[in-house]
Amino acid sequence: MALIDRRIGILFIAFVALLGIALARAAYLGSVRAGSLERDAATQQVSNVIVPAPRGAITDRSGAELAISESADDVVADPYLIKNAVSASAELASALNMPQLTVLSRITRAHTGYVLLAHLVPSAQAAAIGNLHIAGINLVPQTRRVYPRGVEAAQVVGLVHGNGMGASGIEYRYNNVLEGTNGLRRIVSDAIGQAISIDDLRPTDPGKTVALTIDSGLQQEVERVLTRVGSIYSPKSATAIAVDPRTGAILALANWRSQAADSSAGPDDLAIGLNYEPGSTFKAITVAGALQDQLVTPTTPFDIPPVLQFADRQIHDAESHGYETLSVANILKYSSNIGADLIGQKLGAARFNYWVRRFGFGSPTGVDLPGEQSGIVLRLSQYSGSSMANLPFGQGESVTPMQMVAAYDAIANGGILRPPHVVQSVGGKTQPLPAGHRIISPTTASELRDMLRGVFADGGTASGAEIPGYDMAGKTGTANIAIDGHYSDSAYVASFIGMVPTDHPRLLVAVVVNQPQGSIFGGSVAAPAFQQIVGWAVPYLGLPPR
């Protein structure tokens, strides 16, 4: 009996000791660890989820959608909460169009409570997954960027990164107004991870719509024309820009690039990133300066020798000829290099350099696209004794296609240099017209346009590019490409820039073809592309014939 009492006493003491330990542990957890445990419990049952704001749309001038955002979901798994992994993986694999073994390996990963199964799943597909009601499988609201018109105006519109932030083009330049403000949602879940209450703590503020000046119909035609140029002449690249010169609004901008070209080695948007020597299209700038300085008139005659000796260089025209006399107008019509140099001599290096910069060369135009280049323009102190032998006819300095468009816009609109622009409105609010400034008089601009008519006339360098019934003005350009410090005799840039109608231009189009094969002249490569674009555009835009 004493032995039994002793055993009972020992058990009682052990019980009291264990109870004391339990009470001490409870007191410790309820006081010292209370705060941290409460936080841990909250994180397991209550989660705050970012609700992405719908990204604003990008449209053309008429509202045609070029970029939009659609609701999507990330599908995530908590392996700890999935009871039957084999059965769950079979259902998920079917819904996600993934191999079952891949899904199974992901949802059975140890030491993790979060596994991303699929990113940016379309809403309908995500809803089907949600309807499976698999414990441990959750949907996280997201949005995905969609381009309804495919690659149309791709270099202008741009792209977004995987995180939804703008990566290029308008998506990048206007990211701050397109992205909006994300919302915040609190989700309370039960022990098996199913949501039992959802509260929006902060509503989303959708991004604003950015409407472009791009005309989708004209954009498609410009892209078709460049594709044809690519198939016929196999150039390294080709670029075309169509603008309303009255405002500088860009109606179409397209680039074509050879599949053999290394896109990583050059800019995405060649219209603002391609540096090239403009060749004879630059002669209009030389003539503009001489006209504005009252050194010449359209009828001023120049004696043109077969060869012009200039310092250590001999200057030739594209076509061999004897001694002849050409007016300033005919120097442009026949694109005489020698004539351009003689006009450049009248200007002198200092005034020529002044007019180059007055027309905006050597500086970005200020177009509202990211990544614009400045071209390469010599400082006056860098001129050598022979610089004026080639600068007046567009060699020795580099420009971008957009710079040439801005300069010719000033000729077209009566003398105002204004940054081209591609954004029409933001959030329904029309953007103010970029400020411009006068660089030449209306008279000088009118005289230039009148002389540039001759390029389309018989004997002009683009006589085959006229459009019956329409009065046009423009200029061809054919420039050797400098390679390793020497001008190539096989690599050229062919270009054309022109406007319609001549007296009060409403459309200006520039075409630049980099290293065409077969034919290399601006008049035979770029001018026909100009003709095709303008021939399609004039009835489409409602421009009447004469």
Query: Among 150-159, 225-234, 309-318, whose mean pLDDT is lowest?
Result: 309-318
More reliable by pLDDT, 179 or 546: 179
**Tokens of residue 516, six digits:** 């065409």
Are the C-beta atoms of residues 236 and 263 closer than 8 Å to each other?
A: no
Query: Which pLDDT does position 47 carry in this prediction?
Result: 74
Helix (H, G, I), strand (E, B) or coil at 384: coil
Write out pLDDT tens, residues 209-219.
999 999 999 99
Are the C-beta atoms of residues 49 and 184 closer than 8 Å to each other?
A: yes
CA distance between the termini of the chain: 131
Closest CA to 321 of 311, 330, 312, 310: 330
Q: Which residues pair with 197 in a beta bridge?
A: 188
Binned at pLDDT 50, 70 and 90, residue 265 comes out as: very low
Q: How confident is the model over 411-418, as a mean pLDDT?
A: 98
Residue 6 pLDDT > 70, yes or no?
no
Residue 262 pLDDT > 60, yes or no?
no
User: For residue 24, what are the contacts with CB-CB under 8 A and spacing of at least 6?
Assistant: none
- Rounded percentage of the chain residues whose pLDDT exceeds 90: 64
Q: How confident is the model over 303-313, as a mean pLDDT?
A: 92
Q: How confident is the model over 127-144, as a mean pLDDT?
A: 87
Query: Which pLDDT does position 266 carry in this prediction?
Result: 52
CA–CA–CA angle 509, 513, 514 (5° rounding)? 145
DSSP 523: I
More reliable by pLDDT, 391 or 116: 391
Closest CA to 392 of 284, 274, 511: 284
Write out pLDDT tens, residues 425-443.
999 999 999 999 999 999 9
**Tokens of residue 183, six digits:** 């919302």
Query: Among 185-199, 268-282, 339-353, whose mean pLDDT is lowest?
Result: 185-199
Residue 104 pLDDT > 80, yes or no?
yes
Per-chain mean pLDDT for the chain: 89
Query: Rounded to an integer, what distance in angstroms lies between the CA atom of residue 402 and that of residue 512?
Result: 10
Backbone φ and ψ for 523, nearest 5 degrees, come out as -70, -25
User: For residue 170, what are the contacts with CB-CB under 8 A and spacing of at least 6?
Assistant: 58, 156, 157, 158, 210, 212, 369, 422, 423
Binned at pLDDT 50, 70 and 90, residue 302 comes out as: very high
Closest CA to 185 of 54, 311, 282, 50: 50
In the chain, how long is the greatest CA-to-CA distance?
A: 144
Q: Which residues pair with 262 in a beta bridge?
A: none
Domains contained in the chain, CATH given: 57-67+147-210 (3.90.1310.10), 216-540 (3.40.710.10)
